[in-house]
Amino acid sequence: MAHRRPAQFLSEADYQRYAHNLIERILLFADLLRKNRVPVHTAKELDAIAALQHVDISNMRQFYLTLRSTLLVSNRYFPVFDRLFQEFWNNEGDLAQPADGTPEEQDKKQNPPEKQKGGKENPSEQGESSKKEDNSEKEAKLGTAEDSEEEGASSKEITVPTYSLTERLREKDFEDIKPSEFAEFDDLFKKLRIKVKEKRGRRFKTSHRGRTIDLPKSIRHSRQKGGEIVKIFTKEKKPKHSKLVLLADVSASMDVYSTFLIKFIYELQKYVPDTETFVFSTRLKRISDILSHHSIGTALSLLSSQVLFWSGGTDIGGSFLEFNTLYGGKLRKRNRILVILSDGWDTGDIETLKRQMAIFKKGFKKIIWLNPNLKYENFEPLCMGMAASMPYIDYFLPCHNLKTLETFIEIVQKI
Partner 1 sequence: MKKTLSIEEIKEAMKKDSYICDNQLAFVIYLSLAMEKPLLLEGEPGVGKTEVAKVLANILGRKLIRLQCYEGLDAASTIYEWNYAKQLLKIKTVDACGQSYHLEDIFTDEFLIPRPLLAAVRSKEKVVLLIDEVDRADEEFEAFLLEVLSDFQITIPEMGTVKAIHKPLVIITSNRVRELHDALKRRCLYHFIDYPTPEREMEIITTKFPDINKDLAKKIAGIMASLRGQDFFKKPGVAETLDWSQALTILDKADIDAETMDLTCGCLFKFKEDVKRFQDTKSETLAQADAVFEG
Report the distance separating Cα 210 and Cα 411, nearest Å: 28
Burial class (CB in 10 A: 0-12, 13-18, 19+), 356: buried
Quickly count: other Cβ atoms within 10 Å of residue 187's Cβ.
11
Per DSSP, 374 falls in state: G
Residues 192-211 vs partner 1: string with x where CB under 8 A?
A: ----------------xx--
Q: Interface with partner 1 includes 161 (CB under 8 A)?
A: yes
Structural contact between residues 80 and 38, judged by C-beta atoms closer than 8 angstroms:
yes
Q: Interface with partner 1 includes 120 (CB under 8 A)?
A: no
Cβ nearer to partner 1, comparing 209 with 414: 209
**What is the separation, in whole angstroms, between the first and last Cα of the chain?**
49
Considering only 21-29, 43-51, 117-125, 126-134, which stretch makes contact with partner 1 by CB under 8 A?
Answer: 43-51
Q: Interface with partner 1 includes 358 (CB under 8 A)?
A: no
Please pick, from the candidates 13, 145, 160, 183, the single residue that binds partner 1 as defined by CB under 8 A: 160
Report the distance separating Cα 216 and Cα 214, nearest Å: 6
Considering only 224-232, 250-258, 278-286, 364-372, which stretch makes contact with partner 1 by CB under 8 A?
Answer: 224-232
Cβ nearer to partner 1, comparing 73 with 308: 73
Which among 248, 253, 28, 224 has a CA at the least distance from the CA of 124?
Answer: 28
**248-287: which residues touch partner 1 (CB under 8 A)?**
none
The DSSP element (H or E) to which 212 belongs, if any, is strand 212-213
Q: Interface with partner 1 includes 229 (CB under 8 A)?
A: yes
**66-105: which residues touch partner 1 (CB under 8 A)?**
66, 68-70, 72-75, 78, 97-100
Q: Interface with partner 1 includes 2 (CB under 8 A)?
A: no
Binders of partner 1: how many residues, by CB under 8 A?
34
Which among 201, 204, 269 has a CA at the least distance from the CA of 241?
Answer: 201
Q: Interface with partner 1 includes 334 (CB under 8 A)?
A: no
Report the distance separating Cα 1 and Cα 50, nearest Å: 8
Burial 128-149 (b: 16+ CB within 10 A, else e): bbeebeebbeebeeebeeeeee
Report the distance separating Cα 366 and Cα 7, nearest Å: 65
Q: Interface with partner 1 includes 159 (CB under 8 A)?
A: no
Cβ nearer to partner 1, comparing 71 with 338: 71
Please pick, from the candidates 54, 138, 205, 238, the single residue that binds partner 1 as defined by CB under 8 A: 54
Considering only 63-71, 111-119, 304-312, 318-326, which stretch makes contact with partner 1 by CB under 8 A?
Answer: 63-71
Give the residues lining the site for partner 1 (CB under 8 A).
Answer: 39, 41, 43-44, 47, 50-51, 54-55, 61-62, 65-66, 68-70, 72-75, 78, 97-100, 160-161, 208-209, 228-232
